[in-house]
Amino acid sequence: MEYTKLGNSGTIVSRICIGTWHLPGSGSFKDGVETVDEQAFSRIFKRAYDRGINFFDTSNIYHGRVEHNEECIKCTGNSEKILGNIIKDYNRESLVIATKVRGPMADFVNGEGLSRKHIIWQIKESLKRLKTDYVDLYQIHWSDNNTPHKETMKTLNHLVDIDLVRYVGSSNVSASDVIDFMNIAEKNNYERFITMQEPYNILNRSIEESKFDVARSMNLGILAYEPLEQGILSGKYLKSNSGRVEYYKDLSKRINETSEKVLKLSEIARKLDVTMAQLAIAWILKRSIETGVSIIPILGITNEKYLDENLDALDVNINNNYMKMINDI
């Protein structure tokens, strides 16, 4: 395993992070949502840990299986609970655990947001679900226009001061808001963000337009989720339209939009003698070198057999000629 710094901090994390937004399904359903095969994920976690992965990402709103009812309030916190059931059997200090706050956790007023009230309530709930005394990285999941940025940053700083949180970061926050949050932190000597979690892959490079500059200027690391673009960059939809596409209409549209590009990318993968997933992950790691921005891919693994394949992307070197070909595509 290769290791790198977590953003601009001194904490060291694996070059790959495991995410928990989408976990192995059990085939049975509760409240209209497929439940998670916790034993299968436990095996994935152990294999990842044994291969040197120490960085795991979750959120208080993640269900683990979301395809049939994305707004299921009853299911919130499920991924944290599942992760907590696993990490209690490991040396906590050997792990770096990230979670998030902002989304709807209850249907009453103050059931969501970035107010002091909501954040302090939810960090305590997240710690209960994760069965730990602290989280290593606490991220605001997206902006809250109802709460002054200073209130949010002051509250996050307080959580660091009382040792419930080690570091703070942002996720899906506009470049202008990130700058404002960081300026407030600088002015008031609050804890600053160390990371930005954003969607980033070969087919979705929109954050390069504005957020890369922010990351460079403010020394922030980027945690790249959806590195395989919801499975499109694994190449599996070139053969079949089964799986998530059956219940995500937007995914079906995206598959159609990108099919020609994916086919061309599959030819490059074939020439390099790698899988498409390995190509997609290796491309992100190469972009980190090219841009001078620390980028850590967050992988969602639902089948143990894909874990080793994806981690072997660390050994894939895409030369400059192939990077240009991918860029042209």
Asked about 62 being catalytic, the answer comes back as yes
| Residue 255 CB contacts under 8 Å (≥ 6 apart), including other chains | 232, 237, 241, 245
Q: Which residues partner with 97 through β-bridges?
A: 56
Q: Indicate which residue of 3, 49, 62, 134 is catalytic.
A: 62
| DSSP of 95-151 | -EEEEEE-S-SSSSTTSSSSSHHHHHHHHHHHHHHHTSS-EEEEEE-S--TTS-HHH
Q: Is 238 exposed, middle or buried (0-12, 13-18, 19+ CB in 10 A)?
A: middle
Residue 73, CB half-sphere, CA atoms under 13 Å: how many? Answer: 7
Closest CA relative to residue 307, chosen from 47, 87, 42, 10: 47
Q: Which residues partner with 14 through β-bridges?
A: 3
Residues 76 and 66: their CA atoms lie apart, in Å, by 10
Catalytic positions, please?
Answer: 62
